[in-house]
Amino acid sequence: MKQEIILTGDRPTGPLHLGHYVGSLENRIQLQDAHKQYIMIADVQALTDNYAHPEKVRENVLQVALDYLAIGIDPNKSTIFIQSLIPQIADLTVFYLNLVTVNRLARNPTVKNEIHQKGFGESIPAGFFMYPVSQAADITVVKATLVPVGEDQAPMIEQTNEIVRSFNYHYKTDVLCEVKIALSQTPRLSGIDGKAKMSKSLNNAIYLGDTQEELQKKVMKMYTDSGHLRVEDPGKVEGNSVFTYLDVFDKDKARVQELKEHYQRGGLGDVVLKKYLFEVLNNFLTPIRERRIELAKDPEYVMQILKQGTEKTLVVAEQTLKEVKSAMLLNYF
C-alpha cells in the first residue's frame, strides 16, 4: 500500500461526539499507522461562521484536542496542528482566489447547502462564501494526496483539484498535486432523537466526554419505535435509534440479532433494551472518558502537543509556499 499524505480535521466549535467518532475519528486511528496524517484544528475556518464568537472557537481548540488524544490519536503518528498558526495557508488562499471565479464559488453545492442551513439569507460573509478556496489551501499546504470526507464534501475536493490544475497550468509547474477522496464507508450516525444527523446544534448528540449520568439520561430518552407502546407489542427495528447504535457499537453481533428478533416479535421492553445499550456505550466510552479526564488535568501538556505538531507542519508549509511563490515568480530574494 502506497503511503498517502492525509489531511483531515475539525472545526473547533464544540466537543466531538459519537457521530464524529463513527464518521471520521475511528478511521483516523487506522490511517495513522500506515500513512502520514495531518489533523488540523480549523480555528480560522470555524471563525467564518463564528466570527462574532471567538471565545467559543478558542475554548474548543483544547476540547477537540482532548477528544483526539482520548480516543487514541497518537501525536507520534499523527501531526495535529492549529490552522491559524500556519500563515502560509492564508498566503495560498489569497493566491488561489485569483484562480476561481465568483460564479464558480456561488455554484458550489456544499456551500450553497450550508448557506441555506445556516440561514445567512442575503448576508453571506465573504469568508464563508470562499471557504472552499481556503480549504484548497489547507489541503495543498501539506501536499495532501488523500482527504477522507463524507459524500456531501466531495464538491469541495473537486474545487481543490480545479485550483491545483489551474495553478499548475498558469504557472507552468507541478508543485501542487491533485488529491484523492477517501469516501467514508460508514453511514452517518443518527441523533438520539432519530434524526438523520447527530449534531451539536440539533441537541441530539452523545459526546465522547459525556459523564456516565449524562450518557444514561440520553440513552433513556432515545428514540425507539413510537408505535411500541406495551412490552408485549411487536416493535420496529428499522429507524430505531437504539438498534442503529447497537449495530455500530456492540461487537456481539449474535446478541444484537437475538435482541432484534425478540423486539420484533414482542416482549422486549424499551427500558430493558436501553439499559443494554447503555452498558454497551458505557463500556466503549469509559476508557475514553477516563483518559480525557486525566488529560484535562494538564492542559499545558495538551497544548504542547499542538505546538509541536504545528511546528512540524510549519516546516512543510514553508517549503510548499516557497515552491508556490517560486512558480509565481514571487521569489525576489
Among 102, 196, 231, 271, binds a second copy (CB under 8 A): 102
Judged by DSSP in three states, 92 sits in helix
Among 93, 135, 190, 224, binds a second copy (CB under 8 A): 93
**Nearest approach, Cβ of 247 to a second copy (angstroms)?**
40
**Nearest approach, Cβ of 307 to a second copy (angstroms)?**
6
The answer to whether 71 and 292 are in contact (CB under 8 A) is no
The residues, any chain, with a CB within 8 Å of residue 26's CB and separated by 6 or more, are: 71, 186
**Nearest approach, Cβ of 59 to a second copy (angstroms)?**
9
Strand partners, 81: 40
Amino acid in position 296:
A
Which H or E run includes 8? strand 5-10
Among 2, 76, 101, 251, binds a second copy (CB under 8 A): 101
The answer to whether 211 and 289 are in contact (CB under 8 A) is yes
**Nearest approach, Cβ of 315 to a second copy (angstroms)?**
16
Residue given cell 459524500 in the structure block: 151
> Site mask, a second copy, residues 27-46, x = CB under 8 A?
----------------xx--
Residue 318: Cβ within 10 Å count = 14
Q: Which of residues 125 and 266 has its CB atom nearest to a second copy in the complex? A: 125
**Nearest approach, Cβ of 8 to a second copy (angstroms)?**
20
315 is a site residue for a second copy (CB under 8 A): no
Whose CA is closest to 319, among 198, 186, 218, 175?
175
Strand order in the sheet with 78-82: 78-82, 36-41, 5-10, 146-149, 180-183
243 is a site residue for a second copy (CB under 8 A): no
123 is a site residue for a second copy (CB under 8 A): yes
Residues 48-67 that bind a second copy (CB under 8 A): 48, 51-52, 54-55, 57-58, 61
Among 107, 112, 118, 170, binds a second copy (CB under 8 A): 170
Residue 291: Cβ within 10 Å count = 16
Q: Which of residues 95 and 243 has its CB atom nearest to a second copy in the complex? A: 95
Question: Terminus-to-terminus CA distance in the chain, angstroms?
Answer: 41
Applying CB under 8 A, the residues found at the interface with a second copy are 43-44, 47-48, 51-52, 54-55, 57-58, 61, 82, 84-85, 87-88, 90-91, 93-95, 97-105, 122-130, 133-134, 170-171, 303, 306-307, 325, 328-330, 332-333
